[in-house]
Amino acid sequence: MSFVVTARAPGKIVLWGEFAVLAGAPAAVLAVDRYARCSIRATATQRWQLQSRGFVSSPTVASLDTILGGGNGVLSHALNALPNDSLSDLPAGAACMLDTLCLYANGQKLGIGSSAAICTATYTACAALVGVEPDFEAARAAHRAFQGGKGSGIDLAAAWYGGALRFQAGSAEPLANFEPQPWTFFWTGKPAATTTHIDRFSEWVSQGNTRELDSLGDACEALFQANHPDQLCAHLGEYVDRLRALDQAAHLGIYGEGHEHLHALAKEWEVVYKPCGAGGGDVGAATARDGETLAAFSAAAVDAGFQRLDVTRADHGAHLSR
């Protein structure tokens, strides 16, 4: 008998705390309404057929044993995160579609957590397939294995829980001071190599002089104390200065050409702009004390050739859908 399960999970944008979160500082992350989707349809065959949209993955036809043994990255890790006693309930044959298309632009990833979103959606669909309750720790283990053990897990938390979150040391809770603040997000037009930035950061940290990183962590803490747009903008401006200092000290390449252009433009409009995540490319966020100023800056950024991302907060994390 054929049946279908479909799950989806949102992408994310880091509001503040990039790199500092890797050293234990608190970070703010926003789940956004660009979703990765996994659909699995049981079939009467003895093979699993895998296809993808968005990220590049060649169509695959393989036995379930081959996939469980590591024959497909995302799906293998998702299936192996299930309880061992549930694996016998998996169908011998299935058609699986992994879809991250809306987290890409013109064939390039936007840098808004597509890997975490598709891994979370796939794990959620697999859990439904065998009738077990999805578990956050299992999803995190699957994603960490898929990422080769790198990263803080902040993107996985956004994909799992949704909403605006404070994330620190693997734990997430709702972010209290997000609502009053206007934000706008931009795509620089260039994807970033996150793992390259993390490797460079880890090498710098190993050298022992982390003054700029410690200072950035202090700025993260201060941002969570802000309770008014004026105060948050002031603290975020200080955070940006310290992020730039870290970038220069560790030679991370956070401020690529696009981010530098937007940073300079933001100064003209008295707006605070920052790269989101590993930087270099991908997306950036802008905020201001009032919506009119932010709207004027946004129009200027679009005139300069940058793409404004049409995203809003995704209130719900990973879930089953039709």
Give 139's Cβ-side CA count (13 Å radius): 32
The arithmetic mean of pLDDT across residues 245-252, rounded, is 94
pTM: 0.93
Q: What pLDDT score does 179 carry? A: 66
Tell the residue number behind the tokens 């620089």, with chain if given.
188
Domain 4-174+314-320 architecture: 2-Layer Sandwich (3.30)
Instruction: Check if the beta carbon of residue 21 is closer than 8 Å to that of residue 151.
Output: no
Residues 6+ apart with CB under 8 A from 66: none
What values do phi and psi take at 170, rounded to 5?
85, -5
Residue pLDDT, tens place only, 128-173: 999 999 999 999 999 998 888 777 899 999 999 999 999 999 999 9
Residue pLDDT, tens place only, 71-120: 668 999 999 999 999 999 999 999 999 999 999 988 888 999 999 999 99
Q: What is the DSSP string of 219-252?
A: HHHHHTT--SHHHHHHHHHHHHHHHHHHHHHHT-
What values do phi and psi take at 104, rounded to 5?
-125, 160
Fold of 183-308: Alpha-Beta Plaits (3.30.70)
In which residue ranges of the chain is CATH 3.30.70.890 found? 183-308
Q: Which amino acid is at 225?
A: Q
In which residue ranges of the chain is CATH 3.30.230.10 found? 4-174+314-320
The arithmetic mean of pLDDT across residues 44-53, rounded, is 92
From residue 258, alpha-carbon distances to 133, 275, 304 in Å are 43, 9, 10
Q: Is residue 279 over pLDDT 80?
A: no
